[in-house]
Structure 1
């Protein structure tokens, strides 16, 4: 994933560290900081800077407009709205990219926001791509090995991890079976089966990006990404999938800030109220149940406090968590960041003469 700053410079690990240091120095009286207030302030200025960034990058690429995958989620809704405000509806093209396990509301809400903004859009189902690779069949084989009672005709499935705040460092993934909206079974996944499922699920995001670039190149447009800072720090995106884009305007905005932007931009209230999810399982699984393992407002405050090196007592006051839980969370973030570093890294390039 290539991240570009508002000045047009590429953001590297050292840049991020220096920015965090500078920001920490500006926080002169950290004992009185209210983290959520910090995250939610100056939203109008933030929107203006984001529009300027999008304009500068599209101009630098010498492209005519923007293609964007519209998922019905809050990130793509905010990015789409900013693009339309900057370039006009005639220079933005929306793509609805459902597959057979997508929630029906994803397509409905995606179409609604495109129509409300006057954006031309097209629905391109990616199920044929996924089926051609046998992804659904292979996924069912893993689930059947794990869940003896699984019946695709009556069960929906999701992948979940233990709640971090209640179960701590336990990091054991489970397949959950749902029948008629109720959980009827929960089965622990073996490590190899978990890795196989993650690899199979990643094909969905990579298939969507394949379609987006097909359209972008035909139209001489850029592909705009929708990854936010919470996702970026935790490696919550697929390399060469939703991470394989031309620009990432939201990558320095925590998820909490995305919600503030959505309200400022008057995004559809149904989208704002919808729990965020990758939407790749037959049962709609919120990010809080798998990626984050804690409520959004808590994880963003913890990440913000860690980035700005806020004292433990200030973090305790803001989050309501114990010192021990905060320290465990920060160690957990470090481990996740280390294990997902390869996702954020550009591929190493060999140069003659090095």
Structure 2
């Protein structure tokens, strides 16, 4: 029997000894294979850091898909050790996968010199480290989107439950094959898969600065953390009381309490952004969409209270709203100003000439009308630097969609740099229509802390904008948008419909769950249009879900998903 670094005795067998590596490998391989198959993807992208988690993940992906279908990336910054980049490259060679090194140090430098002084001059090493992690995510997804692959995450269970990762950075992935394995189990699996000892025994680090280690940050060794986290985790019931764990493990109370507090504090990283439910309280007395009358005022009151309560509960100083001139961001900024006062709302406009909408009202005018602080910074230099760092054979294949997704993720990283520097929350501006149809960039514009409009369809947001006395130029641009349904490459529609029609279809499919045929009849719409909405909704489910792990159980899904499977004979 030995004593852990913080007084926790190793009196019970390590979890890694209770599950053989063959079982760990089989479950992880099955998750990768099934998730890639279900997505009809062509393979996987794994970001290699030179550490044991990413090396093991890449090996699992190769076991599942074959080396030809796995692409690995090393994405070093100035803080990355050369030996880690070398180890990543050598392990990729051993696995026989395509590999590229895309140095992100120049992109981070462009951000620090040209953007940070404008939007958050007080940014520290933590904010910079989180920015780098989010740029790595954006780079990995650019490659994945351009090559029809999924991004496979590398986090283990211990760091996942402790929240020891960057929200929408290394936590921004499609699946987590190691997400239910603690660090000890990952090392056991790594040895089973032939990961070299020099990688397995490295001191784990987030690489935010020279000399940083996970264990120093967390205040205990992983051997200790594995056992404490396993004892504290109560699954869907949350975190067990520290006192019960102390008695069970004969543990140092301060250590257990510290890790329990960390698990509570980082719970937001493991869930989707908070949003008011639908139906809203005021919808109980009525049917269909809220597009006028007193009910719109009640909705405004509810959303104002939602923002105020969530911001105060989080202890945030203020909120960041990415203003674009559209009705959604304008409504959110107005609600936030009413809820918190204009002085606690920061409007941020991040144009990029390649993708910016020139037909929208100037966000600066909207911010001025609301009396909120506002900055406009062009992110194109950062986007260009990111593109130049990425593999040429990938950027050649990328189209407008992939570039737009990259820009969206870069904007998200910039907004969170501000939030992390100033202890702010990022408010989302996406409405329920776009969320349910998947017309969002995964870990881009949908990556936020709070989603005030998550329960309102587009026509309802326009009605709310009129109630809030926003200019007609803002409200009318989106009241009848007629946007093409479907955000995935194969989901484009040749039929455009009014926002009210699409919203009514979604209300039937998603909220009332009455299926394709009954929704078409209720809305008086061609079943073909309803079916396409249903397909877009099902296809984009991954954008509304947390990354699956080996512990997840299949969700039966809505009725229209069963209808679509029946039609295709699946």
Of 90, 108, 126, the match for 1:198 = 126
The change in CA–CA distance for 1:117 and 1:38 in structure 2 (over 3 A counts) is closer
State whether structure 2 residue 183 is matched by structure 1 residue 255.
Answer: yes
State whether structure 2 residue 103 is matched by structure 1 residue 125.
Answer: yes
- What is the 5 A alignment of 1:17-56? 34-36=12-14, 39=17, 41-56=19-34
Of 257, 262, 267, the match for 1:341 = 267
CA contact (8 A) 1:77 1:267 kept: yes
Larger relative contact order (CA 8 Å, sep ≥ 6): 1
CA contact (8 A) 2:11 2:249 kept: no
For 1:42 and 1:135, locate their aligned partners in 2 and report how far apart those are by CA, in whole Å: 50
CA contact (8 A) 1:35 1:301 kept: no
For 1:66 and 1:47, locate their aligned partners in 2 and report how far apart those are by CA, in whole Å: 17
CA distances 1:65-87 after superposition (whole Å, capped 9, x unpaired): 00110110000001000000111
CA distances 1:223-251 after superposition (whole Å, capped 9, x unpaired): 00011111111111111110111111111
CA distances 1:109-148 after superposition (whole Å, capped 9, x unpaired): 0001100010110111111221111179979xx9xxxxxx
Between structure 1 and structure 2, the one with the greater Rg is 2
Note the aligned Cα RMSD (angstroms). Answer: 2.6
Structure 1 partner of 2:406: none
Structure 1 partner of 2:249: 315
Which secondary structure state, in structure 2, belongs to the residue aligned with residue 56 of structure 1? helix
Structure 1 partner of 2:45: 67
CA contact (8 A) 1:227 1:243 kept: yes
CA contact (8 A) 1:135 1:200 kept: no
For 1:135 and 1:238, locate their aligned partners in 2 and report how far apart those are by CA, in whole Å: 22
Which secondary structure state, in structure 1, belongs to the residue aligned with residue 279 of structure 2? coil
The change in CA–CA distance for 1:71 and 1:315 in structure 2 (over 3 A counts) is same
Which secondary structure state, in structure 2, belongs to the residue aligned with residue 35 of structure 1? coil
CA distances 1:267-306 after superposition (whole Å, capped 9, x unpaired): 011101211111121x23221111x211111111222233
Long gaps (5+) in structure 1:
1-31, 143-191, 317-322
Structure 2 partner of 1:332: 258
The change in CA–CA distance for 1:62 and 1:306 in structure 2 (over 3 A counts) is same
For 1:133 and 1:75, locate their aligned partners in 2 and report how far apart those are by CA, in whole Å: 28
Tell me how far 1:35 sits from its aligned partner.
Answer: 2.9
Structure 2 partner of 1:83: 61
- What is the 5 A alignment of 1:146-185? none
For 1:351 and 1:41, locate their aligned partners in 2 and report how far apart those are by CA, in whole Å: 40
Which secondary structure state, in structure 1, belongs to the residue aligned with residue 100 of structure 2? strand
Structure 2 partner of 1:111: 89
State whether structure 2 residue 149 is matched by structure 1 residue 221.
Answer: yes
For 1:350 and 1:200, locate their aligned partners in 2 and report how far apart those are by CA, in whole Å: 32
TM-score (normalizing by structure 2): 0.43
Long gaps (5+) in structure 2:
1-9, 235-239, 281-570
Which secondary structure state, in structure 1, belongs to the residue aligned with residue 155 of structure 2? coil
Which secondary structure state, in structure 2, belongs to the residue aligned with residue 302 of structure 1? helix
Which secondary structure state, in structure 2, belongs to the residue aligned with residue 94 of structure 1? strand
Q: How many corresponding residue pairs?
A: 261
